[in-house]
Chain A
Amino acid sequence: MLLTLDTVKESLLGGVLIGAAAAGLLLINGRIAGISGILGEAIHLRAPTWRYAFLAGLIGSAFVAPLIGIAPVVPQHQAGLAALGIAGLLVGFGTRLSNGCTSGHGVCGLANLSPRSLVATLTFMAVAAATVFVVRHLLPPGALT
């Protein structure tokens, strides 16, 4: 898994689409494309309609992508179900506590030149990198499966 021109191209193209969606939702709807925030409000079943529509589009992208020629991506999980359950809890709890995730703080917050989001982004990046270091280099192989 080294850096090739193809992975740079697909990363940039994907990033540009994510940025364009965030820009569009902001300029046309006036809202932040922060997934944990949109999902967090929607989960309480009393959120404005647009949140459910956005989430339907996001989930639906998996079905529409192959129809318009986007190459399928087969996800390779490195964690077992128990570890994924614990991770999901941490991600849900943590993003709600800090009011944002990779999209809300990492994309929208940084694009909005927010020092608050810069602190959050540097924190979750650093802790995630430290976690991967422990899992891949200190724990025995397959410790999470």
Chain B
Amino acid sequence: MSGDGKRKRYGYLVEFADVSSIIEAARRVRDEGYVKWDCHTPFPVHGLDGAMGIRMTILPWIVFGAGTAGFLTGIGMQWWMNAFDYAYRISGKPFWSIPANIPVAFEMTVLFAAISAFIGMLGMNRLPEYHHPLFRSERFRRATADRFFIAVEADDPLFDEEKTLAFLESLGGTAIEEVED
């Protein structure tokens, strides 16, 4: 909240009725050079990543790393428990032989990788999030049902009260509104 008693502006929100219009509009916002903006859609719209210029996430590498850690944990745990700390002699077999240890190592790989995919996705998306300024908008409640939105933040370096509004109005949305922070 700023000092002048008026609530700070979060940005502008433009509503679209269908997929083609939001993809077109997203391309124009991207080409205009805005950086602090986002599209909000009820389902992942194909082609929107490209239209927004989103770069590939590093999530797969996190998952790969966690999977590797899971495998090593699985192998290491079994070696520690059955071959080193409390060595079992089973059917005259050597204390340490890999094949019998593969199933558990595999399960640990999948377990670590899956948990990291879930937590990594939430973490990079900054979820869970208790509140977001966009939730103030009554109209925005349809973003999870059947409407498509573009939100441009006031923090964007290109943001200008008049010019940005005029530009967003030219995108051909079905409604536009100002959202308070």
Q: Bound pair: A and B?
A: no
Residues of A within 8 A of B (CB): none
Residues of B within 8 A of A (CB): none
